[in-house]
Structure 1
Amino acid sequence: MKRASAVLPRGSFADDAVVGEVVLDSEARLRRRAVLSAGRQQFLLDLPELVPLNDGDGLALDGGGVIKVLAAPERLVEITAKSRADLVRIAWHLGNRHLPTQLMPDALRIRPDHVIEDMLVGLGATVTKIDAAFDPEGGAYAGGHGHHDHGHDHDHDHDHDHGHGACCGHDHGHDHHHDHDHDHDHDHGHVHGPGCGHDH
């Protein structure tokens, strides 16, 4: 099975280098290690660290070739408001609840949640159900927060590498950090919006 161990940002690779495409939703684009399918060929995604994959990014296969990442449409809620100031205030409320949120020029997008949607309407927002790719703001988890998605999909890929090593007496391959590959996927999204006074 071929292995992909590096992410190539969108636009950084030639079209003729693409040997396949993989369609992933937002959760599947937050995996460090997984077996994926690009058409009829399977490959192992095996990244050294968790990197959020965006629509159009490439996965470099060891030995040559690129698998292009396409974002799968998902059921989302698009949020608009009467003014930019109202939208910023709404973004603050979403960030205060640590909801994964996609920032658009004149709108916000979140996953459906009827309780949150009722709150948004109460704040004067217009909410519309759509089907679109979901690319929530990645600043928080792209750094040290590890994408905290309170759905706690801990993705326990334990990956202990139990190759007990020669004469190490049980080398579990832990390297003192356990490499549990939790990828904690906690998805806080931390979209606190401008002027929120909550500078993470």
Structure 2
Amino acid sequence: MIRAAIVRPAGAWSEAPADRVTLSYDDRHRRRIAMRGDGGLAFLLDLPEALSLRDGDGLVLEDGRIVAVRAKPEALLEIRARDAHHLARLAWHIGNRHVPAAIGAGRILIRPDHVIAEMLEGLGAELAAAEAPFDPEGGAYAEARHEAGGHAGHRHGAGDHHHAAGEPHHHAHGDRHPHSHERS
């Protein structure tokens, strides 16, 4: 089976793709898996480390062809605000809870979560169900990885990092324990 071992970030390739793979947000975090493109091309994704593939990335096959990555539409929660300041404030609260979020002009998209929705409503957000491709912000370390062509850059995991309050703390980003970084 032909392999794809290199990821070219969205915007870093212009060839016509040999095929496309349309994947949900969860299915785009991969290292090694047999895949079949939307047009039927079978290949093995075989990356040196697990990466979060982004909409528009190109998977480079051994023969030089590219398979385009597309974000699959999924059920989301659309968040709107009164003004830009209010939207920034809502984004801060979402990020403070480590919820993946796609930030666009005038709106934020997250996966449906009734606890987060209640918090946002309490902060005055306008919420609506939406269906769209989910391609959340990757964070500073993921952006560095993407700009380096998929192989360089620091992988952020458990360890020290700083938040808006300026205090470091330790936790694994895979944990889903609700916590706050706010100071009293």
Shift in alpha-carbon separation, 1:135–1:70, aligned structure 2, 3 A: same
Residue 103 of structure 1, CA deviation: 1.2
Which has a greater percent of strand? Answer: 2
Shift in alpha-carbon separation, 1:187–1:88, aligned structure 2, 3 A: farther
Higher CA-based Rg: 1
Normalization by structure 1: what TM-score? 0.69
Q: Equivalent residue for 2:116?
A: 116
Equivalent residue of 1:51, what SS?
Answer: strand
Residue 14 of structure 1, CA deviation: 3.3
Q: Equivalent residue for 1:36?
A: 35
Q: Equivalent residue for 1:71?
A: 71
Shift in alpha-carbon separation, 1:73–1:187, aligned structure 2, 3 A: farther
Equivalent residue of 1:5, what SS?
Answer: strand
Residue 79 of structure 1, CA deviation: 0.5
Normalization by structure 2: what TM-score? 0.75
Structure 2: how far apart are the matches of 1:36 and 1:62? 15
User: Any gaps of 5 or more consecutive residues in structure 2?
Assistant: 143-153, 159-171
Aligned length: 154
Q: Equivalent residue for 1:186?
A: 174
Residue 11 of structure 1, CA deviation: 3.1
Equivalent residue of 1:32, what SS?
Answer: strand
Q: Equivalent residue for 1:20?
A: 19
Residue 105 of structure 1, CA deviation: 2.1
Equivalent residue of 2:43, what SS?
Answer: strand
Residue 47 of structure 1, CA deviation: 0.9
1:137-159 Cα offsets, whole Å, 9 max, x none, are 10156243249xxxxxxxxxxxx
Structure 2: how far apart are the matches of 1:103 and 1:118? 19
Q: Equivalent residue for 1:56?
A: 56
Q: Equivalent residue for 2:100?
A: 100
User: Any gaps of 5 or more consecutive residues in structure 1?
Assistant: 148-183, 189-195
Preserved contact between residue 15 and residue 66 of structure 2 (Cα < 8 Å): no
Equivalent residue of 2:88, what SS?
Answer: helix
Preserved contact between residue 100 and residue 187 of structure 1 (Cα < 8 Å): no
Name the aligned partner's letter for residue 45 of structure 2: L
Structure 2: how far apart are the matches of 1:121 and 1:52? 30
Structure 1: how far apart are the matches of 2:8 and 2:90? 34
Identity of aligned residues (%): 47
1:48-99 Cα offsets, whole Å, 9 max, x none, are 1233211111100012211111110010011011011111111111111111
1:132 corresponds to 2:132: yes
Structure 1: how far apart are the matches of 2:135 and 2:89? 21
Residue 187 of structure 1, CA deviation: 8.6
Aligned Cα RMSD in Å? 2.5
Residue 186 of structure 1, CA deviation: 2.7
Shift in alpha-carbon separation, 1:125–1:106, aligned structure 2, 3 A: same
Structure 2: how far apart are the matches of 1:73 and 1:187? 25
